[in-house]
Amino acid sequence: MNIGFIGLGIMGSPMAANLVRAGHTVVGYDTSAERTDALAVAGGKSAGSVAEAVAQAEVVITMLPDSPQVEEVAFGDDGLLQQGRQGLIHIDMSTVRPETSRRVAQAAAVKGIRALDAPVSGGERGAVDGTLSIMVGGAAADFAAVRPVLAVVGTTIVHVGPAGAGQTVKAANQLVVGGIYGLVAEAIVLLEASGVDPGGGLDVLAGGLAGSRILDLKRHSMVRREFAPGFRIDLHHKDMGIAIAAAREAGVSLPLTGLVAQLVAAARAQGHGSLDHSALLKVIERINQ
C-alpha cells in the first residue's frame, strides 16, 4: 500500500521502518531532514514536504508532538487536506485533544478524506517491536480498511467509537495511570515513614485488590528510586493537559484528575521532566521533606 508517514521521531521512525519491512511503500517526511533521510536508508522514500509525502498516498499516518503540529499538517496550505487525494484515509496516531481529532475529521470529510484518530500506548519499546496498543476513533468501515496497516505496528488494536473516541480513551488511560502512580507513591511514603519495609508492603498490595500493572512492573524500581524512562514525565504532563481539556470539552468535573494533573506538573516544575513517570514518587517525597 502507498503510505505517507509524517513525523519521524522516536515513535514515528521505528513505526515507519516496520511498515517498510512489511512491504509497504512508505513516503516519509519530517521537519528534520536528517530523520527523513534515515527513513530512506531504511528502505522508505523521503519527501521534501507534507504535500509530497501525501500526494500519492492511500493512507497517511501522522505521528506528531501535539495539536498545533497536527493542525498545521492537516490544515496548512500545503497540508494534507489540500494536497491529499479523495478517498485517502488519514490515521493520526499522535496523542492530541479529542476536540482536535473531531475538527480534523470534520474538515477532512468535506474534502472526501476519511480520518481516524489512533493514539497509541506502549512507548518506544512498543514502536520498535510493533507491539503498540492502538485506540481508534472514527468510522467502522475506515477502521476495517486500515486494520492490516495498524496490525503492522501494534498488537492490541481496538475500535472504540466515533471521531475523537481514540483520544478520549487515551486520555482516560493516562489519567488512571498518573493517578495510580500517585497512589503508589503515597503508599510508599506512608510505609517508609511508618518504619515498614516498602518492598514487603507493596508485595502484599500487588497480590490483592490494590494490585495493578504498575505495581507489577514498577514497584521494585520505585522503591529503589530508579527512574530511567520509560515514558517521560514531560509526556505525561502533556497527556494530563489533554485529559483536563477533554473533561472540559465533555463538560464533566473530574476532581482526582484535577489534582493528579497538578502533581504531574509539580514533577516537571521540580526538573524531573526527563525521568520516567513513576518519578511522581519524587513529588510526594519532596512534599514531605
Q: Which of residues 225-254 bind its own copies (CB under 8 A)?
A: 241, 243-244, 246-254
Q: Does 139 bind its own copies (CB under 8 A)?
A: no
From candidates 73, 89, 118, 171, binder to its own copies by CB under 8 A: 171
110 Rama sector, left if φ>0, alpha if ψ -120 to 50, beta otherwise: alpha
Active site members: 170
Residue 209's CB is within 10 A of a number of other CB atoms, namely 6
DSSP state of 276: B
The set of cell numbers assigned to 133 is 496498543
Restricted to residues 2-21, the positions that interact with its own copies (CB under 8 A) are none
Question: What is the SS3 assignment for 32?
Answer: coil
Residues near 109 by beta carbon (within 8 Å), at least 6 away in sequence = 115
From candidates 64, 180, 242, 275, binder to its own copies by CB under 8 A: 180
Q: Does 255 bind its own copies (CB under 8 A)?
A: yes
Stretch that binds its own copies, among 3-11, 33-41, 42-50, 129-137 (CB under 8 A): 129-137
Structural contact between residues 184 and 222, judged by C-beta atoms closer than 8 angstroms: yes
Cβ proximity to its own copies: between 60 and 266 the closer is 266
Residues 146-165 vs its own copies: string with x where CB under 8 A? ----------x-xxxxx-xx
Alpha carbon distance 246, 47 (integer Å): 34
What are 157's strand-pairing partners?
Answer: 134
From candidates 32, 106, 131, 262, binder to its own copies by CB under 8 A: 262
Alpha carbon distance 178, 191 (integer Å): 20
From candidates 4, 122, 138, 154, binder to its own copies by CB under 8 A: 122
Least separation, in Å, of the C-beta of 93 and its own copies? 15
Restricted to residues 197-216, the positions that interact with its own copies (CB under 8 A) are 197, 200-201, 203-205, 207-214
Alpha carbon distance 96, 87 (integer Å): 24
For 126, phi then psi, to 5°, come to -65, -35
Stretch that binds its own copies, among 18-26, 42-50, 130-138, 220-228 (CB under 8 A): 130-138
Q: Does 40 bind its own copies (CB under 8 A)?
A: no
